Amino acid sequence: MTLKVGDIIPFERTFTVRDLELFTEISGDEGIHHLTPDEQGRLVVQGLLTATLPTKVGGDHNVLARTMNFEFVRPVFTGDTIMCEVKIEKYERQENSRTAITASFLCGNQNGKEVLKGNFSGVIL
C-alpha cells in the first residue's frame, strides 16, 4: 500500500491482563497501579503499552522512527478496546531514495473518550 498525505490508518486492540503481565515482565514497569486491581477488577495498562498502537501502524509500513511524541490523556484499563487512527501528515521522497514521513495519531476507548494522542516522524527505507 502506497501512503499519501491525508491517509488515515486505523488499528484497534483490546488490552488483556495477559498483555499487561507480559509487558510488565519485559519493561520492568511494576507500578502498584499496574499490579493492584481497582474496585471494578481492572488494572491500569502501562502508557508505553498503549503507545504500541501507533507504533504498530508505523511498523506495518516499515517506518524507521526518528521522533515520537506521546500525550497520555487518560488511563487505559484491562478490558478496554482502544481505536487508534494514524493520519499521514507528510510523505515525500528524498534524494537518497528514502521517504520522509510525519504522522499524527489519536487513540480513543470504547466509550469515545480520548486516551492518547501525539505524532511521530521518520523515514521509510
Q: Are 74 and 1 in contact (CB under 8 A)?
A: no
Sheet strand arrangement including 8-14: 8-14, 81-93, 99-108, 114-124, 63-72
Could you read off the pLDDT of 37-90 as tens digits, one per residue? 999 999 999 999 999 999 998 889 899 999 999 999 999 999 999 999 999 999
Amino acid at 66: R
What's the CATH fold of domain 8-15+45-124?
Thiol Ester Dehydrase; Chain A (3.10.129)
Average pLDDT over residues 88-103: 91
Q: Are 91 and 5 in contact (CB under 8 A)?
A: yes
Structural domain spans, the chain: 8-15+45-124
Q: Is the pTM of this model over 0.75?
A: yes
What is the pLDDT confidence band of residue 1, given thresholds at 50, 70 and 90?
low
Sequence-ordered alpha helix ranges (H) in 3-122: 17-27, 32-35, 47-50, 52-60
What is the pLDDT confidence band of residue 23, given thresholds at 50, 70 and 90?
very high
